[in-house]
């Protein structure tokens, strides 16, 4: 049986070798179909993993409420630069959120832009006022020293923890631990810890946490107050902001939707009209991403099906020509004892082999393409073995499916007519 | 002659073709018998029904009415698959245009009939080598048909027809495409086979070919016109007969 099958496959190869150019051209459709399927799946998979990592950085069990300057206040600010514009989350709200979500970890964040100086080294960056649970919620690690504690907050301690990049900039040569940094004109903070590099592009607004300084939130309130003065270029503005962000970490992803609803309800009560607080739910974004990925997959599947369909029609066309050309051979085989099923088998194997040959080359091309895409377009790609298997399997199946009709025609020829065929 | 086993028999066989409103009676009530060891030629004018008769004898076609027996079995109403089996096991075909499969080697061509009976293997290879030797082509097993002369191709075809140890050989103008020297060689080969007890039924236009046979069946308008015993061959018939019983 095995030997017989191998014989049929070899026979198929031999017959295809009779028309090398024609066979190669025919397989081109399948070849590019298979290659594009693999490449597109690899790009899709890469994009999916990238998105996944991005949202995982934000924390898939987190909810984020962030204060934002309401749009209409921009025009107001012109006429009354000295009247502070009040907006955003308030301390009381954070307490309410914590009380409404007893199973969640709620942390408050203040972000204040300040000049920082250490000896000759100078930097303007964000001072993040926050609390002990921040580290866990933001999923960060301490590289050296320690993180801010509850005691620091209670005592309004003048201590700070540095992001990895900021630490490098302010202390290019020394060990920062235990050293003091001048913030603004006259505040000094002692460094108690340095964070491990996080490598994300966003954190405190658009400033990565790696570039931030972290101090106890109570210290931030006491030192900087809630009226913030911004000087940028010649313009000047004052804002009243209590909290810039509240992060909520839900116990697990199943509780996220309910938590998100509670948080949104609370926020809407205060901020619906002013539109000065934005709630972000990374899990929802992830789901949206997956949804759009699904659309992308459908489009991809349609393109792949079309190219394979075209490839299949090419194969059918060639197989019909082959059957006509080899009518005499079919007659001979029938005279020598071949049943219809043998003829069907022979031509199905031949079209399957033809298609699978295209599939093999297509797989090779499909594995090379994603590497080129990664190099040229800086797009992450991931080739999954089962995608390759799937693409190859489809190519062989296309050959067999589109070979059915030609094979059926071959098998149903009248042996006498077939033998008479010139 | 009468005591010999009948291996193929037509009983009032008709084969009619319907062409629109016309009915073409290609065969119109033919009865005949082929005995083991027979060397029978079929002759007749063009359109007399020779090819039709050969197709029926070869189980490539079914009679419109009447009975065709191969061995002791009525095959006139068999299914397509069953007819394939009869062809594969009981009949050896030799065609005017050789009909080897061009992309296969000589050896592979020889193995085709056994392939469809799942009998390909070491044994079929041995048999192919033996028969290639028998027809004088032992050194050409790995050649492709187009690398051989017409006479050599027809030798391969004859060897192929013998691969399944058929009840009888059916030859359609087997020497029609050959020059006279080669024709003589092939006819000598048929004589050899016949003396080994192989049964041969051959359609021919050439009276010289018919002379070598035991009997000649003349067809006319789809009917048997006459059946001529070739007396000159009687001695050889007896000899062939004896060989046939030994085999
Ligand atoms: N497939 C067919 N359809 C219709 N008529 C046919 C067919 N085959 C043969 N005939 C007719 O049957 C008759 C006998 O043909 P054939 O057996 O080929 O004669 P021969 O081989 O003796 O020349 C002829 O009249 C021929 O036209
Ligand atoms: Mg004819």
Residue A211 DSSP code: G
Domain locations in chain B as residue ranges: 36-66+78-246
Number of H helices, E strands in chain B: 8, 10
Query: Which residues, at least 6 apart from A75, have a Cβ–Cβ distance to it below 8 Å?
Result: none
Residues B110-153 pLDDT 10s: 999 999 998 888 889 999 999 999 999 988 999 999 999 999 99
Cβ separation of B87 and A7 shorter than 8 Å? no
pLDDT value at residue A269: 87
Query: Which residues, at least 6 apart from A32, have a Cβ–Cβ distance to it below 8 Å?
Result: A307, A311, A362, A365
Share of chain A above pLDDT 90, in %: 55
Nearest to A118 by CA among A62, A64, A178: A178
What are the chain B neighbours of A11 within 8 Å (beta carbons)? 103-104
Within 217-256 of A, beta carbons closer than 8 Å to B belong to none
Asked if residue B92 has its Cβ within 6 Å of ligand 1, the reply is no
- Token pair recorded at residue A412: 């149903």
More confident residue, A95 or A304: A95
More confident residue, B89 or A12: B89
Give, using CA atoms, the residue closest to atom 25 of ligand 1: B47
Question: Among all chains, which residue has been given the structure tokens 């990895």?
Answer: A164
Q: What is the pTM of this model?
A: 0.74
Q: Name the CATH architecture for the domain at B36-66+78-246.
A: 3-Layer(aba) Sandwich (3.40)
* Cβ B178 vs Cβ B154: under 8 Å: yes
Residues A371-422 pLDDT 10s: 999 999 888 899 999 989 988 888 888 989 999 999 999 999 999 999 998 8
Q: Where are the beta strands (DSSP E) in chain B?
A: 6-19, 22-35, 39-44, 65-70, 73-74, 91-94, 168-172, 200-203, 215-220, 223-229
Cβ separation of B116 and A338 shorter than 8 Å? yes
- Token pair recorded at residue A234: 């010649």
Distance (angstroms) between ligand 2 centre and the Cα of B33 equals 21
Residues A16-42 pLDDT 10s: 888 888 888 888 888 988 998 898 889
Asked if residue B16 has its Cβ within 6 Å of ligand 1, the reply is no
Cα-based torsion angle of the residue sequence B13, B19, B24, B27 in order, rounded to the nearest 10 degrees = -30
Question: Among all chains, which residue has been given the structure tokens 């609803």?
Answer: A261
Pocket test for ligand 1, best of B16, B52, B224 (most atoms within 8 A of CB): B52
Burial of A70 (0-12, 13-18, 19+ CB in 10 A): middle
pLDDT at A367 over 90: yes
More confident residue, A334 or A17: A334
* Cβ B19 vs Cβ B211: under 8 Å: no
pLDDT at A15 over 90: no
pLDDT value at residue A74: 52
Kindly state whether A10 is in contact with chain B, defined as any CB-CB distance less than 8 angstroms. Answer: no
Query: Which residues, at least 6 apart from A137, have a Cβ–Cβ distance to it below 8 Å?
Result: A59, A62, A105, A107, A247, A248, A249
Burial of B26 (0-12, 13-18, 19+ CB in 10 A): buried
pLDDT value at residue A288: 85
Residues A284-302 pLDDT 10s: 888 888 888 788 878 887 8
Please name the residue ranges forming H helices in A131-170. Answer: 134-137, 150-154, 164-170
- As a whole number of angstroms, the distance between CA A75 and CA B236 comes to 124
- ipTM of the modeled complex: 0.92
pLDDT value at residue A232: 66
pLDDT value at residue B243: 43
Three-state SS at B76: coil
pLDDT value at residue B237: 45
Residue B145 DSSP code: G
Question: Which residues sit opposite A207 in a β-bridge?
Answer: A204
Residues A219-232 pLDDT 10s: 999 988 888 877 76
Residues B163-201 pLDDT 10s: 999 999 999 999 988 999 999 999 999 999 999 999 999
pLDDT band at A233 (very low <50, low <70, confident <90, very high): low
Nearest to B42 by CA among B31, B53, B33: B53
- As a whole number of angstroms, the distance between CA A197 and CA A334 comes to 76
Three-state SS at B64: coil
pLDDT value at residue B240: 43
Average pLDDT over all residues of chain A: 89
pLDDT at B239 over 70: no
Chain A's closest residue to B163, CA to CA, is A336
Distance (angstroms) between ligand 1 centre and the Cα of B67 equals 20
Other CB atoms within 10 A of residue A258 CB: 11
Asked if residue B48 has its Cβ within 6 Å of ligand 1, the reply is yes
- As a whole number of angstroms, the distance between CA B45 and CA B204 comes to 10
């Amino acid at each position: 049986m095995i030997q017989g099958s191998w014989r049929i496959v070899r026979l198929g190869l031999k017959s295809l070798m009779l028309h090398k150019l024609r066979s190669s051209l025919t397989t081109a459709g399948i070849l590019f179909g298979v290659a594009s399927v693999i490449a597109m799946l690899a790009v899709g998979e890469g994009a999916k993993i990238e998105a996944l990592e991005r949202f995982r950085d934000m924390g898939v069990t987190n909810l984020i409420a962030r204060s934002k300057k309401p749009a209409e206040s921009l025009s107001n600010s012109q006429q009354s630069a000295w009247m502070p514009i009040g907006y955003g989350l308030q301390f009381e709200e954070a307490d309410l959120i914590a009380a409404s979500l007893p199973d969640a970890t709620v942390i408050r964040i203040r972000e204040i832009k300040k000049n920082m100086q250490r000896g000759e080294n100078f930097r303007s960056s964000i001072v993040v006022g926050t609390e002990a649970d921040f580290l866990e919620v933001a999923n960060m690690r301490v590289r050296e020293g320690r993180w801010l504690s509850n005691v620091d907050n209670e005592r309004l301690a003048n201590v700070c923890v540095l992001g990895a990049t900021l630490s490098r900039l302010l202390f290019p040569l020394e060990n920062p631990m235990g050293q003091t940094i001048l913030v603004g004109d006259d505040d000094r903070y002692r460094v108690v810890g340095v964070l491990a590099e996080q490598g994300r592009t966003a954190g405190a607004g658009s400033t990565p946490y790696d570039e931030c300084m972290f101090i106890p939130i109570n210290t931030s309130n006491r030192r900087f107050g809630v009226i913030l003065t911004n000087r940028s270029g010649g313009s000047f503005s004052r804002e009243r902001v209590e909290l810039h962000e509240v992060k909520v970490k839900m116990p697990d992803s199943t509780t996220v939707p309910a938590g998100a609803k509670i948080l949104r309800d609370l926020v809407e009560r205060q901020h619906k009209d002013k539109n000065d607080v934005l709630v972000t739910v990374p899990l929802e974004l992830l789901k949206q991403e997956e949804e759009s990925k699904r659309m992308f997959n459908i489009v991809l599947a349609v393109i792949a099906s079309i190219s394979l369909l075209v490839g299949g029609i090419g194969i059918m066309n060639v197989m019909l020509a082959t059957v006509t050309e080899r009518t005499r051979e079919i007659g001979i085989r029938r005279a020598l004892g071949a049943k219809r099923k043998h003829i069907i088998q022979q031509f199905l194997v031949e079209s399957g082999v033809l298609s699978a040959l295209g599939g093999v080359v297509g797989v090779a091309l499909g594995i090379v393409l994603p590497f080129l895409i990664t190099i040229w377009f800086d797009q992450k790609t991931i080739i999954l073995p089962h995608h390759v298997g799937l693409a190859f399997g489809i190519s062989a199946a296309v050959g067999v499916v589109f070979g059915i009709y030609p094979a059926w025609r071959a098998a149903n020829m009248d042996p006498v007519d077939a033998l008479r065929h010139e | 002659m009468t005591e010999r086993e009948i291996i193929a028999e037509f009983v009032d066989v008709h084969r009619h073709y319907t062409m629109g409103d016309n009915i073409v009676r290609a065969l119109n009530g033919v009865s005949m018998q082929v005995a083991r060891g027979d060397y029978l030629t079929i002759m007749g004018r063009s359109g007399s029904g020779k090819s039709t008769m050969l197709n029926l004898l070869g189980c490539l076609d079914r009679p419109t009415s009447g009975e065709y027996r191969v061995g002791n079995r009525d095959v006139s109403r068999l299914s397509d698959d069953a007819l394939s089996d009869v062809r594969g096991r009981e009949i050896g075909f030799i065609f005017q245009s050789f009909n080897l499969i061009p992309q296969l080697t000589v050896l592979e061509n020889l193995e085709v009939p056994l392939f469809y009976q799942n009998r390909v293997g070491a044994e079929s290879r041995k048999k192919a080598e033996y028969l290639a030797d028998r027809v004088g082509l032992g050194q050409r097993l790995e050649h492709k048909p187009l690398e051989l002369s017409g006479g050599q191709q027809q030798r391969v075809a004859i060897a192929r027809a013998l691969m399944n140890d058929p009840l009888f050989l059916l030859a359609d103008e087997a020497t029609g495409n050959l020059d006279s020297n080669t024709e003589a060689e092939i006819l000598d080969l048929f004589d050899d086979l016949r003396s080994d007890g192989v049964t041969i039924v051959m359609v021919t236009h050439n009276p010289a070919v018919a002379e070598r046979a035991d009997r000649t069946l003349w067809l006319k308008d789809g009917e048997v016109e006459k059946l001529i015993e070739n007396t000159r061959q009687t001695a050889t018939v007896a000899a062939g007969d004896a060989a046939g019983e030994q085999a």
